[in-house]
Amino acid sequence: MAIPAEGKKAPAFTGTDQNGNKVSLTSLKGQKVVLYFYPQDDTPTCTEQACNLRDNFGALKNAGFTVIGISPDAVAKHKKFETKYQLPFTLLADPQHAIIDKYGVWGDKQLFGRKYQGLIRTTFLIDENGIIKKVFLKPKSKQHTEEILNAWKAIG
């Protein structure tokens, strides 16, 4: 499935967070959402990205954003990741790729010349009406909050 385009309605989903609670996109209607997909908990780049969002969480919250991270990791692994890095936002487990496939972020990757299938790091900014306003196909993990806030300002 292709990555949903900017200006389109974000695909609906329901997932289980690091505390075992169900979270759905429809329950977030009326909120701006940073929906970020990342390959794996506790790996260097994923940790950089999560910590950047954590360290700037106040700025994101002040801008009205709800932050949700999604990876194929299990609920228990998300809980360890959240605790280890004191992450103040929701992490959804998607080991069956139900949400990942809806957003088209599973595909061909390459590392050191080896090709394989994996999660493609991607972030979606979704407005209060559930419309995708911005897609980051290659987010900068160390400057991700800055990217998000600058993009939202540009959107107006």
Digit-coded pLDDT (tens) for 5-55: 999 999 999 999 999 999 999 999 999 999 999 999 999 999 999 999 999
Q: What is the mean pLDDT of residues 59-82?
A: 97
Give per-residue burial for 36-63: e unless 16+ CB within 10 Å, then b: bbbbebeeeebbebbbbbbebbeebeee
For residue 1, what pLDDT band results from cuts at 50, 70 and 90? low
- Comparing 123 with 113, the larger pLDDT belongs to 123
What is the Cα–Cα distance from 89 to 23, expressed in whole angstroms? 12
Please tell me the CATH code under which domain 33-115+127-146 is placed.
3.40.30.10
Catalytic one of 25, 28, 34, 46: 46
Query: Does residue 46 carry a catalytic annotation?
Result: yes
Give residue 112's region: left, alpha or beta (phi > 0; psi -120 to 50). Answer: left
Q: Given a cut of 80, is residue 66 above it in pLDDT?
A: yes
